Structure 1
Amino acid sequence: MYVEIFIQKILVPKSDTTSPKIDKSYADTIPSGSVVFISAPPNSVNAVWGGLMNTRAKILGVNGVVVDGRIRDLDEIRSDGTLVFARAASILSSKDFTRPTALNIPVTLSGNHDPPIKINPDDIILADLNGVVCIPKDLLDQVLDSCEKYTGMDKNLKNALLEGITLTEAKSIHRKD
């Protein structure tokens, strides 16, 4: 299953007095069926998503949350079944450290990615226990075709291994690309 991102929340340090301010809670703007992507300032020590925001998002029908930063209230979030992925956790709330500044604008993922990973409001987010992937909407068909191809190869390779073939030999047979 995949969904388009609707809302991206950009946070800035609380000390930033020049960036625009949002006049209501971003959690109240989440449409049903969407994925929320939150971009926290690099090296923020505080959580930017927690139990109360998660409860509101769940009521509104969110499909999931991806946080480029920290979250808190893990037991509460896990107990309500909402899919939430984050870099780390913190017990510190955001009120003394960060504030929202923008919604639905392109963001760049924090970290040393080369080239930088840009995420746009209409991109597709896929996430599971193995990680999170952002797919530009115009590349979705190409990515899905590639996934089908390599999933099929891996299935054949695994079956060959189960039949007793060595990994080297199985790759030579089933990984021709």
Structure 2
Amino acid sequence: MTDPARGHSAATLVEAAGAPIDLDPEIRAAWPGARLVGRAFTVQGTGGDNLALHLAVTRAESGDVLVVDAGAAPHGHWGEVLTVAAQARGIAGLLIDGGVRDSAEMAALGFSVFSRRNAIRGTRKDFPGIFGRTVRVGGVLISPGDLIVGDADGVVAIPSAQVARVLDHADERVAQEQRHFERLRAGERTIDLYEFGAPYRQEV
């Protein structure tokens, strides 16, 4: 399957965007090595209630990333049961402003989850949620279809209308970095490479 992010890291993408598309750094991978890539299926939930997530799993399409505003609540909104259900539907992963649990089980299953925290407090099943609207997750407004990329360094959300431009700029940045690496390995200094200014470049 083609990687919609062209394999770029979250850090490269935020630099290429030239705009604040990075989420609050407290939104982190639930387990080491998780990588999240896919189009946003947005869910407006409420803290301490996970009925909306159960319904979202039935409505999202294969390859989608569930993007959930759960009010940053310290509850375990997602766990192993929903993970197995989501994998059966081909869902690419979960990004939630709230808590999750069963991180070891999610790691064993290879299902990528990025959340504000791990939490074991239980949830209600009362609020059915609202789907397909713009939500705020990690301080960033995310709309349906935006490209979500998460890795060890953080998460970005690229507006759908800007994806092609940002990815093209990311390609250019990576190519330039490779040229820089070659020059550094040949003995050049970073202060010369980036032209930090004559006083610094004269230092040995």
- Is the structural similarity TM-score above 0.5? yes
Structure 2 counterpart of 1:46, one-letter code: H
Indicate which of 117, 133, 144 corresponds to 1:105: 133
In structure 2, the residue matched to 1:8 is 42
- Aligned pairs for 1:26-41 within 5 A: 26-41=56-71
CA gap of 1:45–1:100, structure 2 versus 1, over 3 A, is farther
Alpha-carbon deviations, 1:44-81, whole Å to 9, x = none?
A: 11122211111100010111211122111001111111
Count of residue pairs the alignment pairs up: 159
Equivalent residues of 2:79, 2:106 under 8 A apart:
yes
Q: Distance in 2 between matches of 1:90 and 1:100?
A: 21
Q: Percent of counterpart pairs with the same letter?
A: 23
CA gap of 1:128–1:25, structure 2 versus 1, over 3 A, is same
Q: Distance in 2 between matches of 1:95 and 1:159?
A: 56
- What's the CA shift for 1:138? 0.8
In structure 1, the residue matched to 2:111 is 82
- What's the CA shift for 1:99? 4.2
Q: Which has the higher contact order (CA 8 A, sep 6+)?
A: 2
In structure 2, the residue matched to 1:131 is 154
Unaligned runs of at least 5 residues, structure 2: 5-37, 197-204
Unaligned runs of at least 5 residues, structure 1: 16-20, 112-116
Q: Distance in 2 between matches of 1:126 and 1:14?
A: 26
Equivalent residues of 2:143, 2:159 under 8 A apart:
yes
CA gap of 1:79–1:99, structure 2 versus 1, over 3 A, is farther
Q: Distance in 2 between matches of 1:158 and 1:124?
A: 29
Equivalent residues of 1:119, 1:134 under 8 A apart:
yes
Q: Distance in 1 between matches of 2:86 and 2:105?
A: 13
Q: Distance in 1 between matches of 2:128 and 2:192?
A: 54
Aligned residues: CA RMSD: 2.4
